[in-house]
Chain A
Amino acid sequence: MALSRRTGRSRLTIALLVLTSITVLTLDFRDSSVVSGAREVAATIFSPLRGVAETATEPFSNAWNGVTGYGDLERENEELRALVDEMRGERVRDEDAAEQLAVLLEQLEIDWVGDIPTATARVIAGPGSNFSRAVEIDKGSDHGLKEGMPVVTGAGLLGKLVQVTGQRSHVMLITDPDFAVGVRLVESGITGTAEGTGEGDPLIVDTGLEAGSEVDEGAALTTSGSDRSAFPGFIPVGTVTGSQPGSGGLTVDLVVEPLADTSRLAFVTVLLWEPGG
């Protein structure tokens, strides 16, 4: 009798807890201010403690990552040396092109990323779990950062700010399935929407191109910067690596490799830019 009463109470408890979990999940999907507010409060309270713990354990984690990633680092170092040589040659040409572009855009009254004020931030924490994709940076609203601002690396678009507290912010990465950005193919001018599909996976760009259309592999994409776009124009996004049938098979989606490396981040740049700003 006592056992069945206890079992009945346990079932009631599990039912209540599962229902509560589903309720908060629903609230989150409805972008409830309660959830975002709770997250901000928790992040603000917990940040100092986390910061102290990270500082204290940094030598250990650095040593571990140095030992386990030594082979990768060596190979990456060689690749970077070759890349630096290549880029030295391209730099002069790019500077000239950038100046010409800036003049042209000024005449057309379009925001150019080169004119936007920026804030450099250090990545202080990666995703906290194997399934979370956002990274944390050491600047927040005290430094003029706001939710939605674009975040870039030297290579290109990295993501956008999704949660901003006084001293810290979270960056949703470009590979996140919830991430979407309007893009334009540099050569053809075709526009579309790029969406993340997960860490380590390429972006998928819905361009509306008819089935059978061909786009050169290696074609570059930048943000479109069109009206009401959440990002300014001309931020490098990625390069086309292939194509696949779109939904229904009537169109072609482009498979795009992001330029920004989301796996190893140290410093990032936040563009102090807001839509319509």
Chain B
Amino acid sequence: MTPAGPFVVAARVSLLLVVSLTIQLAVAARIEVFGVQGDLMLLVAIMAGLAAGPDRGASVAFATGIAFDLMLQSPFGLSALTYVIVAYVIGSLQDTVLRAAWWIPVATAVIGSAIGVILYGVFGTIVGQDLLHPSLLKIALVVSLLNALLAPVALRAVRWATDTSSSVRARAIMR
């Protein structure tokens, strides 16, 4: 197989981000489950860590967070900071702990989403947003469950976007 060049990967990731952002803002943000919106962008960041490892995964997560922050009226960089850390932790665990099994992307989406939401709340509160409310736990729970449902599809999309000839890791996870 011919290795995909950096420009091809960058183009694929850009396309992935545009599509994800469109779905997040036009669909996920308008459909609430128990008063909570889905968080597709966080899922993309988590799956980036899982599919591409801590290094490239964190970079894709950063781009995902920045793209999302550009469209929101919340502190610019907060999503990026949260996503980078979540993707790095998941990518590092995936390097050392995780093994190929069908349930791994689902479990990772649940745990990663819960960590991501809580981390966002903590960072948000540090920068003066006062997000540490009891409702944060409800948001973490609902986002985790919604992201668990979407995890297999999201992983396929992220794997396609970040795949180079050497990234066989993601294929191993999907087997």
Stretch at the interface among B7-15, B75-83, B167-175: B75-83
Q: Is A9 on the interface with B (CB-CB < 8 A)? A: yes
The answer, among A21, A43, A46, for a CB contact under 8 Å with B84, is A21
Q: Is B37 on the interface with A (CB-CB < 8 A)? A: yes
Nearest chain A CB to B114 CB, angstrom units:
13
Interface string of A113-124 (1 = CB under 8 A from B): 000000000000
Q: Are B31 and A61 in contact (CB under 8 A)?
A: yes
Query: Which A residues are in CB contact (< 8 Å) with B163?
Result: none
Q: Is B137 on the interface with A (CB-CB < 8 A)? A: no
CB contacts under 8 Å to B, within A85-117, are none
Q: Number of contact residues on B: which range applies?
A: 35 or more
Q: Is B73 on the interface with A (CB-CB < 8 A)? A: yes
Query: Which B residues are in CB contact (< 8 Å) with A220?
Result: none
Q: Number of contact residues on A: which range applies?
A: 35 or more
Q: Is A18 on the interface with B (CB-CB < 8 A)? A: yes
Q: Is B153 on the interface with A (CB-CB < 8 A)? A: no
Nearest chain A CB to B100 CB, angstrom units:
20
Nearest chain A CB to B121 CB, angstrom units:
8
What residue in chain B is nearest A177 (Cβ atoms)?
B130
Q: Is A2 on the interface with B (CB-CB < 8 A)? A: no
What residue in chain A is nearest B22 (Cβ atoms)?
A53
Q: How far is the CA of A275 from the CA of B69 in the complex (A)?
A: 29
Q: Are A25 and B78 in contact (CB under 8 A)?
A: yes
Q: Are A130 and B92 in contact (CB under 8 A)?
A: no
CB contacts under 8 Å to B, within A25-64, are 25, 27-29, 35, 38-39, 42-43, 46, 49-50, 53-54, 56-57, 60-61, 64
B contacts, CB < 8 Å to A = 18, 21-27, 29-33, 36-37, 39, 41, 53-55, 58-59, 62, 65-81, 84-85, 88, 91-92, 117, 120-121, 124, 127-131, 133, 139, 143
Given A22-B77, A23-B77; 20 other pairs, CB 8 A cutoff:
A14-B58, A17-B58, A18-B84, A18-B85, A21-B77, A24-B69, A24-B80, A25-B81, A28-B76, A28-B77, A42-B67, A49-B22, A60-B27, A126-B30, A128-B68, A129-B37, A129-B39, A131-B131, A132-B74, A162-B73
A contacts, CB < 8 Å to B = 6, 9-10, 13-14, 17-18, 20-25, 27-29, 35, 38-39, 42-43, 46, 49-50, 53-54, 56-57, 60-61, 64-65, 68, 125-134, 162-163, 170, 172, 177, 197-198
